[in-house]
Every structure is written in C-alpha cells, then in structure tokens.
C-alpha cells in the first residue's frame, strides 16, 4: 500500500462512523445520487427476484458473454439486421426528436437532475377520485425520483421469451436516467411467479444490465397495476411513466364511458406521461 493511500485511510479512520480502508472503498457508493443507482432503492411493492437467474435463453446468455468480451454495448448484437438502405440515416438529433423513447429519456433525466436540487413534492400519478376537470396529482413523500415503464403490449400480458431485443438507443437512454439519480421501475400484469423470466429478459436485452431495477408484478390474481404504481409512489417519487396506452398512466382511462372525456388530461402527454412503443 503506497504512502498516499495510507494517509487517506488514516484520515478517514478519524471520521465518525467510518473506519479504515473499508470505509474508503465504500465512500463513492454513498456519495450523491450514486446511492440510488444500481438498485439500492427499496420499493416494498416490488417482487423479489430469485437468487438464481432464470434459465430462459442459454443462447442469449452466450451471446451476451461474447458482446462483453468484445467490448460491445450490451444488447448490441441482438439488433443487427441486414437492410437495403441506399443513403445514410438522419443525424442523431433528428432521429431522437422523432423517437418517443428518446423524448421520454431526455425529460426524465432532466427532471431527475432538477429533483436533486429540491423535490417539488408532486408525482405524475393521479390522486384517487380526482376530477377530470380539475385533476390533482399525488404527493411525494419520498426523496428518490423514479420512472415507471410498462412492459405489457396493449391489454395483453408481457411475453418474456428468447430473442427479444431492446428498442435502439433505449438502453443508453435508461443509463442517462439512472446517472441523473432516478430509479428505473418496470411493471407488468404478469404474476409474480414469473419474475425470474422478466428479470432475465431485461438483463439480456441490456435494459437492466446489472439486474437491479425494481420489478412490479401482480402478487395475486386480483392485483392491479394501478395499486402497484400507487404503492411504489410511497417509496419513490414517480416523475415519469412510459406506456403504449393511456391506461398505463391510470386505470381511470379503462373505465370511461366516453373515452373522449379523458382528453382533458392530454396536457400530461409529453410532460410526465409518454406514449411509446413496447420497449422489447
């Protein structure tokens, strides 16, 4: 151990509640927003992951190992396709402007960064019993921002299977959200018994490469995603939601006699609610 490291460890040993070089190794993890990255945030309604990864796709696991060894971005190998393009694609700025997932990531990362300066106390979840004419949002007691991403396609349950690949650029967008200090939370109406399959697909696709994001799955046959979202908001502040239908933002939309009566809430689209294609 060199002299500089010895001096650093000695200084840290004098700090309250911190002792020796072990504290020095742990200190970066506890600094700033990093403490919320990598799944350290706890959500009571989240489904516990199995101790062992699901044997969902041996071939995909092998591909992931090759990508990591070659230094490729995780999930990059799953999206390679031959095309008949005769011209270069548009610049990133143009492509991002037209990609709803990139708009979601940019909004969430920006709000998460501003959240660190002082929580504004409001989530993007509607209060129960809110009036369409004068909607009110749920308060946030939690000081950790989070985004919720719905995995289900329409009203169908998510179908975890081998070969699913992430939307181009989405993994990088989620990495920016996490780096800004927000947790990424996934929700599906699938039963909790299938959490291993869901976790493995997200890991192999590169959307949750560390296997640490909270997963919200139905705990019983009568459990609803609305309940899961509301309960999660007690432990984190939901600052953005991504889904492919308005019912992914609030179940209120699924019970309107006249769907047009929900248009009064369209001001939330792009301002916390994002209509996006399925992430996988």
CATH at residue 155: 3.40.50
Dist CA 182 CA 109 (whole Å): 8
Nearest-5° angle of CA 141, CA 144, CA 146?
105
- In the prediction, which pLDDT does 148 show? 98
Residue 15 binned pLDDT confidence (cut-offs 50, 70, 90): very low
Q: Is the pLDDT of residue 206 over 90?
A: yes
Mean pLDDT of all residues in 132-139: 87
Domain with 157, as residue range(s), is 40-71+85-275
Which residues are 119's β-sheet partners?
none
> Is the residue at 212 inside a domain?
yes
Residue 128 binned pLDDT confidence (cut-offs 50, 70, 90): confident
Q: Is the pLDDT of residue 48 over 50?
A: yes
- pLDDT single digits (tens) 140-177: 988 899 999 999 999 999 999 988 999 999 999 999 99
Which of the pair, 161 or 55, is modelled with greater confidence? Answer: 161
Mean pLDDT of all residues in 202-215: 96
The two three-digit tokens of residue 217, written as one number: 């799955």
> Is the residue at 206 inside a domain?
yes
> Is the residue at 207 inside a domain?
yes
Q: Is the pLDDT of residue 37 over 60?
A: no
- In the prediction, which pLDDT does 131 show? 74
> Is the residue at 137 inside a domain?
yes
> Is the residue at 250 inside a domain?
yes
Task: Report the mean per-residue pLDDT for the chain.
Answer: 78
> Is the residue at 4 inside a domain?
no
Dist CA 139 CA 121 (whole Å): 6
Q: Is the pLDDT of residue 77 over 70?
A: no
Asked if residues 74 and 204 have their Cβ atoms less than 8 Å apart, the reply is: no
Comparing C-alpha atoms, which of 80, 104, 98 is closest to residue 172?
104
Long-range contacts of 91-95 (CB under 8 A, 24+ apart): none
Q: How many domains does the chain have?
A: 1
- Please tell me the number of Cα atoms within 13 Å of 228 on its side-chain side: 26
- In the prediction, which pLDDT does 197 show? 97
> Is the residue at 107 inside a domain?
yes
Q: Is the pLDDT of residue 40 over 60?
A: yes
Q: Is the pLDDT of residue 274 over 70?
A: yes
- In the prediction, which pLDDT does 28 show? 28
Residue 70 binned pLDDT confidence (cut-offs 50, 70, 90): very low
Q: Is the pLDDT of residue 24 over 50?
A: no
Asked if residues 196 and 49 have their Cβ atoms less than 8 Å apart, the reply is: yes
Spell 88-117 as b/e; 16+ CB within 10 A means b: eeeeeeeebeebebbbbbbbbbebbbebee
């Amino acid at each position: 151990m060199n002299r500089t490291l010895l001096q650093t460890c000695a200084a840290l040993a004098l700090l309250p509640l911190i002792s020796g070089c072990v504290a020095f190794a742990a200190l970066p993890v506890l600094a700033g927003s990093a403490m919320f990255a990598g799944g350290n945030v706890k959500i009571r309604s989240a489904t516990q992951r199995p101790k062992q990864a699901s044997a969902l796709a041996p071939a995909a696991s092998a591909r992931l190992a090759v990508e990591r060894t070659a230094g490729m971005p995780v999930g990059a190998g799953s999206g390679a396709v031959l095309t008949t393009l005769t011209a270069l694609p548009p610049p990133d700025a143009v492509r991002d402007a037209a990609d709803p997932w990139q708009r979601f990531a940019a909004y969430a990362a920006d709000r998460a960064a501003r959240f660190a300066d002082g929580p504004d106390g409001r989530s993007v979840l509607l209060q129960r019993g809110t009036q369409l004419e004068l909607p009110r949002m749920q308060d946030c007691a939690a000081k950790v921002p989070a985004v919720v991403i719905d995995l289900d396609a329409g009203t169908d349950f998510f179908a975890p299977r081998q070969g699913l690949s992430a939307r181009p650029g989405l993994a990088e967008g989620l990495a920016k959200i996490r780096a800004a200090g927000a947790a990424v939370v996934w929700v599906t109406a699938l039963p909790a018994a299938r959490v291993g399959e869901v976790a493995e697909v997200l890991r192999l696709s590169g959307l949750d490469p560390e296997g640490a994001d909270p997963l919200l799955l139905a705990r019983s046959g009568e459990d609803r995603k609305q309940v899961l979202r509301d309960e999660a908001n007690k432990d984190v502040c939901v600052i953005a939601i991504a889904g492919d239908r308005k019912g992914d933002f609030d179940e209120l939309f699924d019970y309107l006699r006249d769907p047009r009566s929900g248009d009064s809430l369209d001001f939330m689209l792009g301002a916390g609610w994002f209509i996006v294609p399925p992430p996988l």
